Chains A and B, each alone.
Chain A
Amino acid sequence: MCVEPAVIYLRYAKRHLCRAHLIEDIEQRVLLTVENKKLISNGDRIAVALSGGKDSTALLILLCRLLPALKDVSLVAITIDEGITSYREDTVHSAEDLTRRLGVEHHCISFTEQFGDTLDDLLKGRESQACSICGILRKKALNIGAHRVGATKLATGHNLDDEAQSVLMNVLRGDLPRLVRNSSNDSSGMFIQRIKPLAYISEKEIATYLMLNDAWTSLPECPYTRYALRREVRAMLTTLEYRYPGTMLRLMESKRKIEYYCAGSMVCEPIRRCRECSDPCSGDICQVCLLRHSLRL
């Protein structure tokens, strides 16, 4: 029985954990996720999508610590600079500091370099679409970066809160294909596989882990989140999680069951090639090319 003072109470598990036990618990659970879901294989070169925010910072620190348990695996960090004034500058600096400290190779790709303009300029008059436009372009930029550095997998810092929010958002939108789509196993070899080692670690656990490792930096909030449905879903889910602990994990379990029952059915469109750029997509034209037309890029 540990007698050290608790730094966190995990409501869903009804567990109090001290500093040392929380760090050990998180590192073991991430390793378990990596092993059980076979996220990383021998010889993999993992590109970590490092925004410099708390989740990707925790992901890089955790993967660096787990590296000795993973055979012949190398890490490289990729930061996308979308060009968001008074926000991205701080997180890019934070990413540079972290990779320097950890000795991890780091590459930065800007929207200006890839798409000819900053996100701020691309969004003028379209602010309400900020998250969907940014999401499509950022995903494309990350794929370009991952190919450029010779990565075999792309690791993102999505945590339990993010994943549970996505499940609920897809249900609210009635988007079954997106609900059951799994970017880690349905790529048919056409995408770099995406992995989410933090998918079962809550946002609060991640923030506490960073604090305990002296890696917490208070950073500004993205100015465009106020337009996002996710913001409302996040508030709703956090309230539900507080009142009914385990709600987020149960949502993840629901998704897993729906995936299981949909396996082999024609819920998702088959993957095709974009007729303009040849990138893999579900329609005739990929979302990036559609955006290029509407934004006149």
Chain B
Amino acid sequence: MKIIFPDQSIQTLDRGSTPIEYVLSDLGINSLEVIVSRNGKLVSEDTVVGADDEIRIIRIAHGG
């Protein structure tokens, strides 16, 4: 699956079907600090994503 990070960098992960929460956890990201879209649509963190999916991670915390 293709992961697009908040800084727009891209990483491809070799994964089968996995809940987004686990993907984030492996990347060291707390799911409460981000919003995730799958193929352009917002999804909840327990959504199962697959190898062909494009996952975009949007960081929500801004100081000030």
Residues of chain A at the chain B interface (Cβ within 8 Å): 5-9, 11, 16, 19, 51, 53-54, 84, 87, 202-204, 207-208, 211-212, 216, 218-222, 224-225, 228, 230-231, 234, 238-239, 241-242
Residue of B nearest to A241 (CB): B32
Cα(A229)–Cα(B33), bound, Å: 18
Q: Knowing that A84-B64, A222-B63 touch, tell me 15 more A-B residue pairs with CB under 8 angstroms.
A: A5-B41, A6-B44, A7-B44, A8-B44, A9-B44, A19-B42, A54-B60, A202-B32, A204-B35, A208-B42, A211-B42, A220-B62, A221-B64, A225-B64, A239-B30
Cβ of B61 < 8 Å from any Cβ of A? yes
User: In the complex, what residues of B have CB within 8 A of residue A87's CB?
Assistant: 64
- CB–CB A221/B32 < 8 A: no
| Shortest distance between the CB of A275 and any CB in chain B (Å) | 32
Cα(A8)–Cα(B43), bound, Å: 6
User: In the complex, what residues of A have CB within 8 A of residue B47's CB?
Assistant: 6
User: In the complex, what residues of A have CB within 8 A of residue B30's CB?
Assistant: 238-239, 242
- CB–CB B35/A225 < 8 A: no
Main secondary structure of the interface of B (DSSP, over half): loop
With A8-B44, A239-B30 as contacts: A222 and B64 at CB distance below 8 Å:
yes
- CB–CB B64/A51 < 8 A: yes
- CB–CB B33/A225 < 8 A: no
Cα(A216)–Cα(B61), bound, Å: 12
With A54-B60, A228-B63 as contacts: A9 and B35 at CB distance below 8 Å:
no
Cα(A202)–Cα(B60), bound, Å: 11
B42: contacting residue among A7, A218, A231, CB under 8 A = A7
| Range for the number of chain B residues in contact with chain A | 10 to 19
B32: contacting residue among A51, A220, A238, CB under 8 A = A238
Within 8 A of A (CB), among B29-64: 30-33, 35, 41-47, 58, 60-64
- CB–CB B61/A234 < 8 A: yes
- CB–CB A211/B35 < 8 A: yes
A219: contacting residue among B35, B44, B62, CB under 8 A = B62
- CB–CB B63/A208 < 8 A: no
Could you list 5 examples of A-B contacts with CB < 8 Å? A204-B60, A216-B58, A221-B64, A224-B63, A238-B33
Within 8 A of A (CB), among B19-34: 30-33
User: In the complex, what residues of A have CB within 8 A of residue B44's CB?
Assistant: 6-9, 16
Cα(A9)–Cα(B41), bound, Å: 15
Cα(A225)–Cα(B61), bound, Å: 11
- CB–CB B32/A207 < 8 A: no
Cα(A7)–Cα(B41), bound, Å: 8
A7: contacting residue among B31, B43, B64, CB under 8 A = B43
Cα(A218)–Cα(B64), bound, Å: 14
